[in-house]
Amino acid sequence: MKTTTRVAIIGGGVVGASVLYHLTKLGWSDVMLLERSELTSGSTWHAAGGFHTLNGDTNMAALQGYTIRLYKELEEITGMSCGLHHVGGVTLADNQDRFDMLLAERAKHRFMGLETEIVSPEEIKKIAPVTNIDGIVGGLYDPLDGHLDPSGTTHAYAKAARMGGATIHTHTMVVETNQRPDGTWDVVTDKGTIHAEHVVNAGGLWAREVGAMAGIYFPLHPMEHQYLVTEDVPMIVDMMTDGQEHPHVMDPAGESYLRQEGRGLCIGFYEQTCRPWAIDGTPWSFGQDLLQDDFDKIEDSINFAYKRFPDLEKAGVKNVIHGPFTFAPDGNPLVGPIPGVRNYWSACGVMAGFSQGGGVGLMLAQWMVEGECERDVMAMDVARFGDWISPGYTLPKVIENYQKRFSVSYPNEELPAARPNRTTPMYDVFSRMGAVWGQQFGLEVVNYFATGDEPTFETPSFRRSDAFDATAREVAGVRSAVGINEVHNFGKYLIKGAGARAWLDRIMAGRIPQLGRLSLTPMLSEKGKLIGDFTVSCLSEEEFQLTASYGAQAFHMRWFLQHQDDSVSIENITDKRNGFQIAGPRARDVLAACTLSDISDMKFMDVRKITIGMTDCIVQRVSYTGDLGYEMYCDPMGQRALWNTLWAEGQKHDMVPFGMRAMMSLRLDKFFGSWMAEFSPDYTAAETGMDRFISFKKNTAFIGRAAAEAERDAGAARQLVSFEVDATDADVQGYEPIWLDGDVVGFCTSGGYSHHAGKSIAFGFLPTDRVAEGLAVEIEILGHMRAARVVTTPLFDADGARMRG
């Protein structure tokens, strides 16, 4: 066995094999896979082997499409069979909400190039005759759906990797992973020690245990999962006689998936009475084993399935497959470099390995070889969870995710498990005021305030929700007087040191402000993609405060630390500085009355240290509402005192509290983009208009400069624009296709209802050469074509007089 390697991959399931193959495909041949038993031991060998493209996250759906198309390539490369059955599949909807979800997904597929289609109950009966269509509203048909041979596919990945120079060692158990001072790793096995530049944890059921060897907690948990294979089913036998194979059927109402298996049927369940497995850790002795049959927990699911698929009840059970699969709290994989740990990579939590394994392998290989992925992978980035996460949080969230595996995923849904978890000093105050809570990155965030008889729970919906009236009320309060909102859901960072300005000039593409000023700047990847949207505040020549998206903390800190030098210190102070923003025409009056400092000369984009009441604050004159506004940051220990001061004075000026629903409506008035909607690693600065904040004049080789300059000179092929939409009861959420002259020419990034203007607004991309004021297009919302037109003049304070005055 070799004693050195560039990459050591721990785990020989389908994901580890995929990563190994894709590394060789991108040119790294000195790579090694270590498996304690045989390839496919763990979850891979007992998987049902189904694959599909349907996923609520568009990039994940695209990667699933890549994975499915990859299998034929693997067969051609290796000469091995993956046991492919491209039979197609239909997802059923038995109510309007489920049908709305399918309509929204079909719309996304239009610009993704996925050939899915909405089908009627009658068409479903023809496509999938085993289905009882009583009560069915419609369905979504995907011709790419199918199933394969899990073992054959994994071995095809392995052979393709070996052909590219990789080595695979089975029956080689990793017992330690120890990092050297230079960031490389000693991977200790029962057959010797391997010195590796990089380690990839693809441990599957044992990912937690493998991570613990390096002192890393992976928020994962295995769940018991059961599926049945029947004896012969006459309808299936007749179809086979005619040379046909029955397609897959996903029945969200019955929490089941069904496909043909030989001359019978295979059906699996995501039952509500689910059970976590191996709570205290996965035994190393577990391998190609199964759990004891447990019909009791799926009894209700089986009874429902008998009604949906009557032929099942007539068929005997041939086999029962009951085994564990590993889930992350939100059901998506954990992929990428571990924040704060050099050269340690995750490829874990890939529950749907045969739908996602190829895409996961490709993205991780690109990340390792090229430094970044070709598309935004935040939905599966391991950095989407912070260091606050714990086993006590992970377990209830994993159970919740399993139970909702086939449930409708609403754009405004707030899931209740493991909440509240992280709260600020204002939680009880706002709760008494009627706060309806959401969460971001584990933190409780006010969505809106209910009053009177309004419910304190927002009903999930694809359409305008019961938050509509409350949001309108809060928007009106801000625009007519003054509103107050907590600033806890901003990520905040302190950059200090003699080289702070020079370091920021290199990390940020925009201008770094002078003392007492702030600036807005994009942060770019080497390829010119947007990886941050920051406010930079100069507190002194050696001290700067940065603010950005709260949910991107681990993502941004990982980037900062990867590029840190000895001239600066970098600290995440997100939870060490809290406070409020006040916004509206009376905001200045409130602030002036609460401080002895003279703020009359405080200009737009100024930053100062001011004592407000008894609380020392950093005050910035800026507001995401697009109105006259101030952001105030303080020690959380003084936040309640700051609240008491501002709220008492605010009552004299008709102050109202407002939440994130109002914030996201207010930003529409000024056409302000939002992180992970208009601004994400899928897009460049020029495409989104963020290039206006790039300082091409500064004499600094900032990261991404060459790519940004090349795009500036060539021009962007597409452009982010704003639309007024003739919507009725549903607004744009994101990824709806934009139609022009009968063709899909673009897609939406986000949207909503401007309560100030009384208009439905959307943001989206169009080809640059088609952009023009008033251009008439159609936007497909929940299956309906809605007329829309390009608008360039903001709906509020178009000349900026109030915001800047």
- Under DSSP, the state recorded for 111 is H
Tokens coding 649:
């004075």
How confident is the model over 412-431, as pLDDT tens digits? 999 999 999 999 999 999 99
What pTM does this model have?
A: 0.95
How confident is the model over 664-723, as pLDDT tens digits? 999 999 999 999 999 999 999 999 999 999 999 999 999 999 999 999 999 999 999 999
Residue 408 has pLDDT above 80, yes or no: yes
What distances in angstroms separate CA 89 from CA 35, 70, 233, 563, one per listed residue? 34, 18, 19, 46
- Please state, in angstroms and rounded to a whole number, the distance separating the CA atoms of residues 296 and 801: 67
The pLDDT score that the predictor gives to residue 51 is 86
How open is the CA angle 229-234-238, to the nearest 5 degrees? 115
Q: Which is higher by pLDDT, 1 or 4?
A: 4
- Min mean pLDDT across 114-118, 633-637, 738-742, 766-770 is at 114-118
> Considering only CA atoms, which of 315, 304, 224, 307 is closest in space to residue 266?
315
Residues 6+ apart with CB under 8 A from 493: 545, 546, 547, 548, 556, 557, 560, 570, 571, 572, 573, 574
Residue 155 has pLDDT above 90, yes or no: yes
Percent of the chain whose pLDDT exceeds 70: 100
Residue 376, phi then psi, degrees to nearest 5 = -70, 120
Tokens coding 331:
């059901």
- Please state, in angstroms and rounded to a whole number, the distance separating the CA atoms of residues 745 and 723: 14
How confident is the model over 309-322, as pLDDT tens digits? 999 999 999 999 99
Sign of the CA dihedral with 354 first, then 357, 358, and 359 last: positive
- Please state, in angstroms and rounded to a whole number, the distance separating the CA atoms of residues 251 and 255: 6
- Please state, in angstroms and rounded to a whole number, the distance separating the CA atoms of residues 766 and 674: 18
Q: What are residue 737's DSSP bridge partners?
A: 747
Helix axis angle, 353-370 relative to 150-163, nearest 10°? 20
CA neighbours closer than 13 Å in the CB half-sphere of residue 434? 15
What does the mean pLDDT of the chain come to? 96
Percent of the chain whose pLDDT exceeds 90: 92
> Considering only CA atoms, which of 372, 274, 354 is closest in space to residue 52?
354
Residue 53 has pLDDT above 90, yes or no: no
The pLDDT score that the predictor gives to residue 388 is 94
Pairing of strands 221-230, 248-251: unpaired
- Please state, in angstroms and rounded to a whole number, the distance separating the CA atoms of residues 524 and 404: 36
Stretch (H or E) spanning 500? helix 500-507
> Considering only CA atoms, which of 244, 232, 230 is closest in space to residue 126?
244
Residue 741, classed as helix, strand or coil, is coil
How confident is the model over 284-299, as pLDDT tens digits? 999 888 999 998 999 9
Residues 6+ apart with CB under 8 A from 800: none
- Residue 89 burial by Cβ neighbours in a 10 Å radius (0-12, 13-18, 19+): buried
- Residue 395 burial by Cβ neighbours in a 10 Å radius (0-12, 13-18, 19+): middle
Residue 465, classed as helix, strand or coil, is coil
Average pLDDT over residues 590-619: 98
- Under DSSP, the state recorded for 371 is S
CB 34 within 8 A of CB 9: yes
- Please state, in angstroms and rounded to a whole number, the distance separating the CA atoms of residues 60 and 795: 34
Tokens coding 502:
């020079």
Q: Which is higher by pLDDT, 58 or 572?
A: 572
* Buried/exposed 448-472: b ≥16 CB within 10 Å, e otherwise: bbbeeebeeebebbbbbbbbbebbb
Average pLDDT over residues 450-477: 95
CA neighbours closer than 13 Å in the CB half-sphere of residue 130? 32
The pLDDT score that the predictor gives to residue 752 is 98
How confident is the model over 715-754, as pLDDT tens digits? 999 999 999 999 999 999 999 999 999 999 999 999 999 9
How confident is the model over 215-270, as pLDDT tens digits? 999 999 999 999 999 999 999 999 999 889 999 999 999 999 999 999 999 999 99
- Please state, in angstroms and rounded to a whole number, the distance separating the CA atoms of residues 13 and 486: 46
Residue 56 has pLDDT above 90, yes or no: no
* Buried/exposed 630-642: b ≥16 CB within 10 Å, e otherwise: bbbbbebebbeeb
Helix axis angle, 660-669 relative to 468-480, nearest 10°? 60
The pLDDT score that the predictor gives to residue 113 is 79
Residue 5, phi then psi, degrees to nearest 5 = -160, 155
Helix axis angle, 14-25 relative to 353-370, nearest 10°? 40
